[in-house]
């Protein structure tokens, strides 16, 4: 049973659906003709990663579905594991089929499963938004991930309590270490290659959103994705770190909705302006980034 409870906004409903062996939880907001699927990363889940989007996106245009992957958030039990991203993408495809969704735009924080989904199931993905995403684990990214193993010392207090409430105080550190181990395995056994070989198969218009100061997904990975995904554009927050959808929710929501609503296939490079002030000293601490 979950001890973590959330009072959903009036326009957000909570659901579960059986997908193979998994009883998957998801949130739904809006009633528009354009289906938008939100896919979290790492140990994140729909509400922790996408609260501002569930609350803020145009509900007359979008039907927004925030997905809790198997073992994440409210899609428990069973406990979280870290299968291949091909397996994760197949589960998402089956989830969409179970909901009767023939195609959707996809917004993902972390983006690994979403990239594989868009490459292997092209007909399912209309447009793709990748936030703080890497297709190649760099050594410095792995070190930053591993540095968060010490949850009590490094995690933001608010995020820590939310995640403890969902996963348990004793269990959360074990799960994060497994995620760090998973990244270490990719780095050592696959030379960091998450899905570089699949990027050429992503054919849908793609918006990349990156933080210049992100320790977990370096800006070099953003430029690499931009070079290898054919119909991509990149937007960089000069002071941004990892949790861009939560750090800059108003600007983020406008930017993403404009991209998803546009008829043309966009391309090019955009940068944020100085309207975003420098992070204060407290925000500059790695402990105060929302990594989920």
Q: Is 22 an annotated catalytic residue?
A: no
Q: Is 160 helix (H, G, I), strand (E, B) or coil?
A: helix
User: CB atoms < 10 A from the CB of 21, how many?
Assistant: 8
Tell me, yes or no, if 60 is annotated catalytic.
no
Q: Count how many residues are written for the chain.
A: 292
Identify whether 108 is a catalytic site residue. Answer: yes
Q: Which of 48, 75, 132, 214 is catalytic?
A: 214
- Of the residues 108, 144, 180, 232, only one is catalytic, namely 108
CA–CA distance, 98 with 24 (Å, rounded to integer)? 11
- The one catalytic residue in 22, 25, 235, 242 is 242
HEC profile of 227-270: HHCCCEEEEEECCCCCCHHHHCHHHHHHHHHHHHHCCCCCCEEE
Structural contact between residues 52 and 246, judged by C-beta atoms closer than 8 angstroms:
yes
Cβ burial of 13 (10 Å; 0-12, 13-18, 19+) is: exposed
Q: How far is CA 292 from CA 46, 107, 155, 233, in A?
A: 10, 14, 11, 23
H helices then E strands: how many in the chain?
Answer: 10, 9
- Catalytic positions, written as ranges: 108, 214, 242
């Amino acid at each position: 049973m979950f001890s973590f409870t959330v009072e959903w906004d009036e326009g957000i409903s909570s659901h579960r659906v059986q997908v193979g062996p998994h009883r998957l939880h998801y949130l739904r907001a809006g009633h528009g003709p354009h289906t938008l699927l939100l896919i979290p990363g790492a140990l994140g889940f729909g509400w922790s990663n996408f609260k501002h989007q569930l609350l803020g996106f145009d509900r007359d245009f979008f039907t927004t579905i925030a997905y809790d992957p198997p073992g994440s958030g409210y899609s428990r039990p069973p406990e979280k594991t870290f299968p291949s991203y091909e397996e994760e993408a197949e589960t998402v495809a089956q989830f969409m089929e179970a909901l009767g969704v023939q195609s959707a735009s996809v917004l993902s924080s972390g983006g690994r499963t979403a990239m594989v989904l868009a490459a292997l199931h092209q007909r399912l993905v209309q447009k793709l938004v990748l936030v703080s995403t890497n297709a190649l684990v760099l050594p410095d990214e792995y070190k930053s991930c591993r540095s968060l193993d010490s949850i009590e010392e490094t995690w933001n207090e608010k995020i820590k309590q939310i995640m403890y409430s969902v996963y348990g105080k004793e269990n959360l550190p074990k799960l994060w270490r497994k995620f760090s181990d998973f990244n270490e395995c990719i780095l050592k056994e696959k030379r960091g290659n998450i899905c570089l070989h699949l990027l050429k198969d992503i054919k849908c218009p793609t918006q990349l959103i990156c933080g210049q100061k992100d320790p977990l997904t370096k800006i070099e990975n953003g430029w690499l994705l931009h070079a290898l995904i054919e119909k991509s554009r990149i937007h960089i927050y000069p002071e941004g770190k990892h949790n861009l959808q939560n750090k800059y929710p108003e600007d983020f929501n406008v930017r993403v909705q404009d991209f998803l609503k546009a008829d043309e296939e966009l391309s090019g490079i955009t940068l944020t302006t100085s309207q975003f002030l420098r992070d204060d000293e407290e925000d500059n601490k790695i402990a105060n980034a929302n990594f989920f």
